[in-house]
Amino acid sequence: MRGTRYGPGVLTRFANVSDPIPVAGGGLLSRRALLKGAMVMGAGAALPATAANEHLGAAMAWQKTPGRPPTGYGNPSRFESAVTRTTYNRYGAIALGNGGSFTPLERLRGTITPNGLHFERHHQGVPDIDPAKHRLVVHGLVRRPLRFSIDALGRYPMTSTTAFIECAGNSFPNTNDKPPQVTCGEIHGLVSCSEWTGVPLAMLLEEAGVRTDAKWIVAEGADAVSMHRSIPIEKARDDALVALYQNGERLRPEQGYPVRLLLPGWEGNMSVKWLHRLELVTAPVQARDETSHYTDALPDGRALQFTFEMGVKSVITQPSPGWMLQGPGYYDISGLAWSGAGHVARVDVSADGGRTWAQAELLETAQPFAFTRFRLPWRWDGGPVRLMSRAMDEREQIQPTRAEWLQRYGAKQRYHYHAIQTWQVDDMGEVSNAY
Amino acid sequence: MPTERSRIATLAAAVAIALCVANVSAAPDLGEPVSAADLVGLSITIGPDGNGLPPGRGTAIDGVDLYVDRCASCHGVRGQGRTGPALAGGAGTLAGKAPVRTVGSYWPHATTLFDYIRRAMPYDNPMSLTNEQVYQLTAYVLWLNGIVGRDESIDARTLPGVKMPNRAGFVNAWDARDRD
């Protein structure tokens, strides 16, 4: 991936824009400057005039041949075949199902992740579940233990929520001593954002009649490790969703078909896929994945348990490693921000390694617990620069530096990494990962 | 404008009110009743107090052959780890620069071991072991770590009382959180 040229048409470079006023070092320009005008002028300027004239009036091959007929299920253009997830595997051939795949964040725009590119993390592969045989059981400390078929769940009133899901281990490559030279998605792509539709968990709990001594709920999946987690009853009643649909269509098998849990803002492992059992209990059951894993090492050798909420985070997706800037001039910096606390309140961008910062524009699609897209115009002078983004959320939590994050934890801590990312741009325009 | 989060809560609350206010038929109520018999073999979670542990027993000695046959190829005969993670060792390493987190050095509860072996192991054939075999393997892994003796019976009564070396090594961040 390193050194791939995407070309100036992808990473928009604005030529001949009347100079806006710099607002911070390294060539950062006001977020209010010229979005509409610059795009119009940039588009005209990016196409060399001679190239356009050569083809003027000459019809393309696809204008002279009938196109293919409609299909039952659409796929991306064959010219987009490189836009795929990067897969990984934990234990090789002995456990092919223990692994995952990274969303190619640097290849996407907007805030919704296409279903085929949503990241994966499986502990024992993707089960092939027949929905007609699948049941969701609610039992334990309830007055009426109940079992729901998928058809029955489909008859409940549904609601939709746009939410990111982030693996607790996302961005773990940046805990290495040296910055790994891989793509943005291969570092930070264990996070994706979808519109999820389903039945509020609170509704099913109400029907089952939760007893007052029930304080936690154990969610279990029907995969081949029967992955399970303990969840506080407060979250189950607040905004937990029993999700059947993702971006309008039924869940993909790798996202929990036919039914998964969605806990907005909390570590992805708890949004249990292939959900088949919910057991009301008095206290956490100390599952393998809330003791030996998904716990956070402290410097004194102890570990934090039940750290559910994902920290405030942002990353510049364009430009990022793999991009080559096509010479000095104007570029639009674009990135994603999110927080387990809810809304992203603000994102700042630096082009001088954090000495000075400028406030980025947050695009109007922003919703709580979802990706927020930010942008900032930038004029690159052709010299080496260090690009960074720093998010702040509605609770005024600020994304930490890498040094601040490392200081909080013990050695080999791999979860909840949410430190500021630095991209180094060298004088050839090549972008790389830097600490 | 209501947030997505508050809309979920509002929809849930509306149904809750419909249920409580008297007219139960206003709720979908499409779940089927589940009996205790329906939960046999399905309700497999073991709590740290031993809740859910089935009848049966086993010792480390009982488990040697089974461990060598079904576990050692990935975890090593002494639990040192091979292609799979280490199950034993690592005592005293947690605060250092190269922590080794194993059942013995890290896991706070012995019940988790029974629970996880039964639901997920062996990796290529999960849920294939009998409860007796799971007790034997639980005993064997605890013995590898020097936590129980080789002839010590591990069963529903004794397992919750097994004292794990790192039992006090965890901070419950949920209970300690700021309640704002």
Q: Which residues of A touch B46 (CB under 8 A)?
A: 285
Q: What is the pLDDT of residue A21?
A: 79
Sign of CA dihedral A420, A426, A431, A434: negative
Whether residue A355 sits in one domain with residue A321: yes
Residue B109, domain extent: 57-161
Handedness of CA A320, A322, A327, A330 (dihedral sign): negative
- Confirm whether B41 is domain-assigned: no
Q: How many domains does chain A have?
A: 2
Cβ-Cβ contacts under 8 Å for A293 (sequence gap 6 or more)? none
Q: How far is B59 from chain A (nearest CA, A)?
A: 22
The answer to whether position B44 is within a domain reads no
Predicted pLDDT of residue A6: 41
Query: According to the model, what pLDDT value does residue A58 have?
Result: 82
- Quick one: pLDDT at residue A14? 42
Phi, psi of B23 (to 5 degrees): -90, 85
Alpha-carbon Rg for chain A, nearest whole angstrom, is 24
The DSSP secondary-structure symbol of B89 reads: -
- Asked, for residue B152, whether it belongs to a domain, the answer is yes
Cα gap A344→A353, rounded to integer Å = 22
List the pLDDT tens digit at each of the 435 positions of chain A.
333 444 333 444 444 445 567 899 999 998 876 554 444 333 334 444 455 556 557 889 999 999 999 999 999 999 999 999 999 998 888 889 999 999 999 999 999 999 999 999 999 999 999 999 999 999 999 999 999 999 999 999 999 999 999 999 999 999 999 999 999 999 999 999 999 999 999 999 999 999 999 999 999 999 999 999 999 999 999 999 999 999 999 999 999 999 999 999 999 999 999 999 999 999 999 999 999 999 999 999 999 999 999 999 999 999 999 989 999 999 999 999 999 999 999 999 999 999 999 999 999 878 999 999 999 999 999 999 999 999 999 999 999 999 999 999 999 999 999 999 999 999 999 999 999
CATH number, domain of B115, equals 1.10.760.10
Residue of B nearest to A137 (CA): B34
Q: B39: which DSSP letter?
A: H
Inter-chain CB proximity A288 and B34 less than 8 Å: no
Residue A274 is part of a domain; what is its CATH number?
Answer: 3.90.420.10
CA distance A135 to A137: 6
| Beta strands A241-246 and A249-250, pairing class | antiparallel
pLDDT the model gives residue B16? 54
Summarised one tens digit per residue, pLDDT across range B25-82 is 568 999 999 999 999 999 999 999 999 999 999 999 999 999 999 999 999 999 999 9
Which of B:74-113 have CB within 8 Å of A? Answer: 74, 83-84, 94-99, 101, 103, 106-109, 111-112
> B146 at the A interface (CB within 8 A)?
no
How high is the pLDDT of residue A3? 37
Q: Which of A294, A326, A343 is the last residue of a domain?
A: A294
Same domain membership, residue B78 and residue B143:
yes
Is residue A201 domain-shared with residue A350, that is, in the same domain? no
Is B50 domain-assigned? no
Does residue B146 share a domain with residue B83?
yes
Task: Mark A171-181 as b/e (b = at least 16 C-beta within 10 Å).
Answer: bbbbbeeebee
Residue A388 pLDDT: 98
| Min Cα–Cα distance to chain A from B18, Å | 10
Q: How far is B114 from chain A (nearest CA, A)?
A: 10
* Residue A324 sits in the same domain as residue A203: no
Residue A163 contacts B, CB cutoff 8 Å: yes
A435 touches chain B (CB under 8 A): no
- The CA distances from residue A227 to A132, A230, A303, B122, in Å, are 21, 11, 21, 15
Total domain count for chain B?
A: 2
For A124, nearest residue in chain B (alpha carbons): B123
Identify which has the larger pLDDT, A15 or B164.
B164
pLDDT value of position B149: 98
ipTM for the predicted complex:
0.90
For chain B, the first-to-last Cα distance in angstroms comes to 23
Q: Do A210 and A227 meet the contact criterion of CB atoms below 8 Å apart?
A: no
Residue type, B110: A
Domain boundary among the residues A238, A260, A294 is at: A294
Q: Which residues of A are less than 8 Å from B12 in CB distance?
A: 200-203, 206, 237
Q: Do B84 and A91 touch (CB under 8 A)?
A: yes
Per-residue pLDDT, A4: 41
Provide the β-strand partners of residue B155: B57
Q: Are residues A279 and A180 in the same domain?
A: yes
If asked whether residues B23 and B69 sit together in one domain, one would say no
> The domain containing residue A133 runs over which residues?
120-294
B118 → chain A, closest CA residue: A225
Q: Which two tokens stand for residue A275?
A: 């959900």
Cβ contacts of A134 within 8 Å, gap of 6 or more = A149, A150, A222, A258, A259, A276
Q: Nearest Cβ partner of A94 from B74, B119, B171?
A: B74
B25, B107: one domain: no
CATH code: domain of residue A395: 2.60.40.650
